Amino acid sequence: MKRLASILSIIFSPLLVPTYGILLFFTTRRFEVVPFLPKLIVGIIVFVCTGLLPGVILYFFMKTGKVSSVNLEKKEERTLPYIFSLVLYLFCALYLWKVNMPLWFVMMVVGSTVALVVLMLVNLKWKMSAHLSALGGVFGGIFVVAMHYVLNPVALIVGTLFIAAAVATSRLILGVHTPLQTLAGFVNGFVLVMLFGLLFG
């Protein structure tokens, strides 16, 4: 059971979920008319800024002894990786704005950045699940896209909730979070991404 939980945690790592979200949004009607190459470039930039570079930085910190494991189980080890990720997320949002992506799209990335700030601040005293915060962000993004383009998001909502429940269960099985920490993480990502995407987009 723990092996399956570990696999789920890797597949739906916070380093990968933003890229999944971008790929998901690119399947909506709004982006069907956009040529493949611009979508590919945006997808690569998002992956590099939210996945690849944070992953490389985390690996470097592990090699230099600044963090003890990729799971960042000790809350005192999370602040530095979060700061680097925060800078990269801001760069990603700026890039998307510069290439004239829809404002709501850019603001969802800004909302994700704010959610990361909340994770970092809460981490000083407690901890929330970064895995569930990332999935909550995708969940919030589904509502943003649906509201802007009058889509029926029921299938996406059900699918995302199923994945979130599976990942939350895996985090509990691995003993890295409590139920409240997983719920708080999900709400953090969901509320901030949806709020920024709808109110400022």
Instruction: Using the predicted structure, report yes or no on whether residue 30 has a pLDDT greater than 80.
Output: no
pLDDT above 90: residue 11: yes
Averaged pLDDT for residues 26-52? 89
pLDDT beyond 90 at 1: no
- Residue 18, pLDDT > 80, answer yes
Average pLDDT on 12-35 reads 88
* pLDDT for residue 32: 80
CA distance 102 to 28: 14
Higher pLDDT, 2 or 51: 51
Q: How far is CA 3 from the centre of its chain?
A: 23
Lowest mean pLDDT among 53-57, 63-67, 68-72, 150-154: 68-72
Residue with more model confidence, 118 or 147: 118
pLDDT score, position 115: 97
pLDDT of residue 73: 67
SS3 of 10-78: HHCCCCCHHHHHHHHHCCCHHHHCCCHHHHHHHHHHHHHHHHHHHHHHHHHHHHCCCCCCCCCCCHHHC
Average the pLDDT over 188-200 and give the result: 94
Lowest mean pLDDT among 20-34, 61-75, 85-99, 128-142: 61-75
